[in-house]
A and B are shown apart, each in its own frame.
Chain A
Amino acid sequence: MIAGVAAVGAAAAAGLYRFTDLFRRHYAPTPYDDLLGQLVDREQAARLGAKVAGGANAGALAARLRAALTGGLTAAAIADAGAGRVQDVDGWLLPDSVALLSALAARA
Chain B
Amino acid sequence: MTAPIDARTLPSGTVLTPDLAIIGGGPAGISLALALANTKLNILLLESGGENFDPANQKMYAGDADGVHYTALDAGRLRFLGGSTNHWGGWCRPLDAIDFEKRDWIPHSGWPMSRKSLEGYYQHAQKLVEAGPWIYDKADAIIAAKGELLPLGDGGIYTSWFQFSKTRDSDLPTYFGHRYEDDLKRSRVKVLLNANVTGIRLAPDAKRVERLDGATLNGKSFTVKPRFTVLACGGMENVRLLLASNDVMTAGIGNQNDLVGRFFGDNPTPRDVGTMVVFSGALAPYYNNTMQMGDGPVMRATFSPTGDFCRAKKVAGSLTTVEQPVELDETGKAAVITTALALGVDASSAKAYSIGCGMELLPDPDRRLTLTGEKDALGLPRLKLHMTMAEADFTLYRKTLQELGRQLLASKTGMLRLNFDKREEWSKTMDWGNHHLGTTRMHADPGQGVVDANQMVHGIGNLYVAGSSVFPTYGSSNPTLNLLALTLRLADHLKKATA
Contact = CB atoms under 8 A, between A and B. Distances in A.
B137 to A, nearest CB: 24
Contact of B338 (A44, A86, A91): A44
Contact of A97 (B342, B344, B415, B416): B342
A78 B413 CA distance: 12
A89 interface: yes
B335 interface: yes
**Interface core residue of B330, B342, B406, B419 (most chain A CB under 10 Å):** B342
Contacts, number: 81
A5 B367 CA distance: 86
Interface stretch (A16-24, A29-37, A45-53, A54-62): A45-53
Q: Which of B330, B335, B419 has the most CB of A within 10 A?
A: B335
Given A48-B331, A93-B416, A97-B342, A78 B410 contact: yes
Contact of B343 (A41, A45, A78): A78
B418 A88 contact: yes
A44 B332 CA distance: 10
30 contacts: A39-B338, A39-B341, A41-B338, A41-B341, A44-B333, A44-B334, A48-B331, A48-B338, A73-B342, A78-B410, A78-B412, A81-B406, A84-B406, A86-B402, A90-B417, A91-B275, A92-B335, A92-B415, A92-B417, A93-B402, A93-B405, A93-B406, A93-B416, A93-B417, A95-B342, A95-B409, A98-B339, A98-B342, A101-B342, A102-B338
B54 interface: no
A65 interface: no
Nearest to B275: A91
Interface of B: 275, 330-335, 337-339, 341-344, 402, 405-406, 409-410, 412, 415-419, 421
A30 to B, nearest CB: 18
B28 to A, nearest CB: 42
A48 B334 contact: yes
Contacts of A48: 331, 334-335, 338
A98 B418 CA distance: 17
B409 A86 contact: yes
Contacts of A90: 331, 335, 417
B419 A47 contact: no
Contacts of B406: 81, 84, 86, 93
Given A41-B341, A45-B338, A74-B343, A93 B333 contact: no
Contacts of B333: 44
A78 B335 CA distance: 16
A93 B334 contact: no
Nearest to B404: A93
Contacts of A94: 335, 339, 409, 415
A88 B398 CA distance: 12
Given A39-B338, A92-B335, A102-B338, 20 more contacts: A39-B341, A39-B342, A41-B341, A44-B333, A44-B334, A44-B338, A47-B331, A47-B334, A48-B334, A77-B409, A86-B409, A88-B402, A88-B418, A91-B419, A92-B331, A92-B415, A93-B406, A93-B415, A94-B335, A94-B409
Interface string A61-91: 0000000000001100110011010101111
A91 B342 contact: no
A94 B416 CA distance: 9
A28 interface: no
Nearest to B154: A82
A77 B331 contact: no
Nearest to B277: A92
A74 B342 contact: yes
Contacts of B344: 74
A6 interface: no
A24 to B, nearest CB: 14
A82 B412 CA distance: 11
A86 B341 contact: no
A74 B275 CA distance: 23
